Structure 1
Amino acid sequence: MNFSELKKSITTITESKSKTSNKLQSICDLLKAEVDYYNWAGFYFKNGDKNELKLAEFAGKPTEHVIIPFGKGICGQVAVSNQNFVVQDVTEQNNYISCGFQVKSEIVVPIFVNGKNIGQIDIDSHSTNPFSDKDEDFLEFVCKKVATLFDN
């Protein structure tokens, strides 16, 4: 896994002529396939005018968490804080929504369009302590590219 090469692939996907939903699915599939400790990759977006997130495209095991209220869980907290949230061990988080016993860590990075948080990328890992600053930088890059799909 090489983040520089993955950035090129992400750019190619976001600049393709596909529908936005197909681009998002391709990004999820690529991340899950190419980063061995990314066991689930998905996008959540603000659900209209509601203070909740709605699951969009993802790669990995289906989740029952299709709607997440703002403030609940890691994703819901990022919707409120507008900050990246890296959880190296989910057992250390009080406000964590379990997506299954296999998930040991999670990283969530918000997507901004014109300064407004419209959603986020959510990565779950079956390993404890897998994420580094390189993951955070890479996922920020992914979110900036995804933001261009919604910047009308």
Structure 2
Amino acid sequence: MNFQELQPKVTAIVATTPLSRDEKLQAICQLLNENVAHYNWVGFYFANHESKTLHLGPYVGAPTDHTVIPFGKGICGQVAESNSNFVVPDVAAQDNYIACSFTVKSEIVVPLFVNGINIGQIDIDSHVLDPFTVEDERFLEFVNTEIAKLF
């Protein structure tokens, strides 16, 4: 399924009334994980600006020990500070990378803004080297724009 086909499905999940916010986020993780071949771990981290930490939210994929990440640490922590997308074609080439699994080869993190404030991010790991394109970035920005409606 391509990104254009996935967009209305994301919108439909966000609009589903009987689901809680976390259930909607979990459903979006599941949708992306099942329908984009190079998305092997899909999850959300949410910011606590007082403690300057990110906290793991709903996700699909291998369990992770990284449930709390300090701002500035790893790819996710860097996005919490930069407020910019971060595409890592090869995690082995990154100095400030938190290894989750030896199977992870690349990562993309896109910040989630609500009223101009970076409240978190969507984080995607891939078992493939350099799979992420500008289309992935635009699609994940769309996903986060839809998710922002839940806050």
Aligned residues: 150
Shift, 1:50, TM fit: 1.4
Q: Which residue of 2 aligns with 1:52?
A: 53
Shift, 1:23, TM fit: 0.1
Report matched runs for 1:60-75 at 5 Å.
60-75=61-76
- Structure 1 moving runs of 4+ over 3 Å: none
The whole-number CA distance in structure 2 between the counterparts of 1:95 and 1:140 is: 23
TM-score, normalised to structure 2, is: 0.98
The whole-number CA distance in structure 2 between the counterparts of 1:136 and 1:96 is: 20
Q: Is residue 15 of structure 2 the alignment partner of residue 22 of structure 1?
A: no
Q: Which residue of 1 aligns with 2:118?
A: 117
Unmatched tracts of structure 2, length 5 or more: none
The one-letter code of the counterpart of 1:10 is V
Secondary structure of 1:37's aligned partner = coil
The whole-number CA distance in structure 1 between the counterparts of 2:87 and 2:147 is: 20
Q: Which residue of 1 aligns with 2:11?
A: 11
Shift, 1:48, TM fit: 5.9
The whole-number CA distance in structure 1 between the counterparts of 2:90 and 2:63 is: 21
Q: Which residue of 2 aligns with 1:132?
A: 133
Give aligned-pair identity as a percent: 59
Q: Which residue of 2 aligns with 1:97?
A: 98
The whole-number CA distance in structure 2 between the counterparts of 1:20 and 1:48 is: 20
The whole-number CA distance in structure 1 between the counterparts of 2:72 and 2:147 is: 23
The whole-number CA distance in structure 2 between the counterparts of 1:49 and 1:110 is: 18
